[in-house]
Amino acid sequence: MIGYADLSLMKKGSYLINASRGSVVMIGALAKSLEENHLAGAAIDVFPEEPNSNKDSFKNVLQKFPNVILTPHIGGSTSEAQANIALEVSEKLVKYCDVGTTIGATNFVEVALTPNLNKQRYLHIHKNQPGVLNKITKVFTSRKLNIASQYLQTDAHIGYVIIDIDQKENADEILIVKNGLITDASFANIIFKKGERWFTPRAYLLNGVMRKCLLDNKHIEEADINEGNFRDYESCKLINAMLGMEASEIPLVAIS
């Protein structure tokens, strides 16, 4: 971190600005450099110890200097910072949804992936324990699906598997069937229409936000939908967090 010796290397009359982390600059060393008039001033937005709430008092040795500006950790609250944060978060979400990339995650394994243009990609998150990858592979091979590529990244607790399979010609999406029951599509929950009512598989793999919302508001109902009875429905829709009942209706004849 930046101590007295580091500050001494700065040009006399310089100004120091710290809006990164409170532990980056040693406050005592900065105070000494200011007392010796080596630095002309400083602006500090972050501190080693900060008040937990507005009720807590703030005390810092730098408060006695008239040539020091102290701000309450607001560096990230500027309009430019907020715009950059919104852009960065959006880009990371899009990269995860479109590709599966998790670079920058703080509580998840980090994986950088390239876009997949002609294969069907599956992402699987599981508890890190022996034998999971073998079981996942058997799910695909038992259905005569050829695995084009496979990647596994783990940390102490989580396993993240990315599998690309050879996609059937002209197929835009794949329905996942488990023990004969239709569950979800590869990137979304699915709902089926019968008359004026909409149904979603009871054997879902992921209880998505939109699926739960539509169920709670009684717009859709759960049902056991399998390979034998799904043709009893008229059409279907793919729903996810950003797409609800307004999703395009897909006729069942489009599913092979």
CA distances from 230 to 19, 177, 242, 256 (A): 58, 12, 25, 12
**Hey, is 225 helix, strand or coil?**
coil
Q: Any catalytic annotation for residue 219?
A: no
Residue tagged active-site, from 73, 124, 126, 219: 73
Residue 76, Cβ neighbours under 10 Å: how many?
A: 12
Retrieve residue 61's tokens.
């040795």
124 is catalytic: no
Q: State the alpha helices, DSSP H only, in 122-234.
A: 132-141, 209-216
- The residue type of 116 is N
Summarize the chain as % helix, strand, coil (round to 5). Answer: 25, 30, 45
Number of residues that make up the chain: 256
Catalytic residue among 35, 36, 49, 50: 50
- Any catalytic annotation for residue 73? yes
Give burial (CB, 10 Å; 0-12/13-18/19+) of 101.
Answer: buried
Coil, helix or strand at residue 76: helix
Burial class for 152, CB neighbours closer than 10 Å (0-12, 13-18, 19+): middle
Just list the catalytic residues: 21, 50, 73
